[in-house]
Amino acid sequence: MANRQRRVLVIGAGGQARDVRFVLDQLRTAGRPFTFAGYVVSDLAQLTDRDSRRDVVGDLSFLRAHRDRFDALALAIGSPDVRLQVAAALEAEFGPDMWPALVHPSAILDWGTCRMAHGVLLCPGVVGTVNVVLGPYCMVNYSCTLGHEASIGRGCVVNPGANLSGGVVLEEGGLIGTGAQILQYRHVGRGATVGAGAVVTRDVAEGATVVGVPARPMPRLRGPERD
C-alpha cells in the first residue's frame, strides 16, 4: 500500500467535506500517498445546495457494493455525536486500519513524543508542542494551538483558532468553538461544549455547555421551554 496512492472516500459532502478534500489534495501535492475518491453520505435525499453534489458517489451502501473503489475512509462531520456514531458503525464493519490519520503538511507537533490514533484530522496551521495525545477520529481545525501534554479525546472537534494550553484534557465527544481559549490543566468532560470565543478558567462538567468570558454554564431551561 505504501507504494501506491490510497484512494480516500470522504464521509460527508458539505463544507467540512470540502475542507477534508483540500487537505487530501495538499497531501498529494506534498508527495503523500493519498488521493480523493469522492464523497459518501448517509442519505442522498438530504443533500442541499450547500453540498458538493457533483462528487457524491453514493450513500453508505456504496461502501459495501464497491469495496474495490477505495482504500481508505475519512470523516468530514462537524458534530461530535454524529462523528462518534458513524465512526463506530463503519469501524465495526471495515476496521480501524481503514482510517488513516490525515495531517496537513503545515501542521507542527513534536512527532517524537505525540501519540496519534487512527482517523485523526489535523488541518492547516495547527501547532502543538510535546506529548500531545490525539484520540481516534478527533479533528483539530485551522490555526489551533495545542500545549504540552494536551489530550484530545475520541471524536472531539476543535474549531478554527481555538487555543488549548498545556495539560488540557478534552474527554470523548467534546466540541470546542471557534476562537475559544482553555487555560492550563483544565478538564472538559465527555460530550461538553465550549462556545465560540469562551475563556475556560474552570473544569467543564460532562455534557455541559459553557459560554462567555470567563466561561460559565448556560442556564438550563425549565418547564415547557426545556422541551
* pLDDT score of 220: 64
Question: Are the C-beta atoms of residues 21 and 27 closer than 8 Å to each other?
Answer: no
* pLDDT score of 219: 75
- CA Rg, the chain, in Å? 18
* pLDDT score of 224: 46
Assess whether 148 carries a catalytic annotation.
yes
pLDDT tens for residues 91-139?
Answer: 999 999 999 999 999 999 999 999 999 999 999 999 999 999 999 999 9
Quick one: three-class SS letters along 61-130?
Answer: HHHHHCHHHCCEEEECCCCHHHHHHHHHHHHHHHCHHHCCCEECCCCECCCCCCEECCCCEECCCCEECC
Residue type, 106: S
DSSP 153-195: -TT-EE-TT-EE-TT-EE-TT-EE-TT-EE-TT-EE-TT-EE-
* pLDDT score of 155: 98
> Which residue segments constitute the domains of the chain, with CATH numbers given?
6-76 (3.40.50), 101-212 (2.160.10.10)
3-state SS class at 38: strand
* pLDDT score of 1: 44
pLDDT tens for residues 158-169?
Answer: 999 999 999 999
Return the number of other C-beta atoms located less than 10 Å from residue 217's C-beta: 14
132, three cell numbers? 500531545
Residues 6+ apart with CB under 8 A from 197: 177, 178, 179, 180, 213
Give the residue ranges of the chain where pLDDT is below 70.
Answer: 1-3, 220-227
12, three cell numbers? 460527508
Residues 6+ apart with CB under 8 A from 56: 13, 38, 39, 40, 41, 44, 47
Confidence (pTM): 0.92
Which is the catalytic residue, given 66, 104, 118, 148? 148
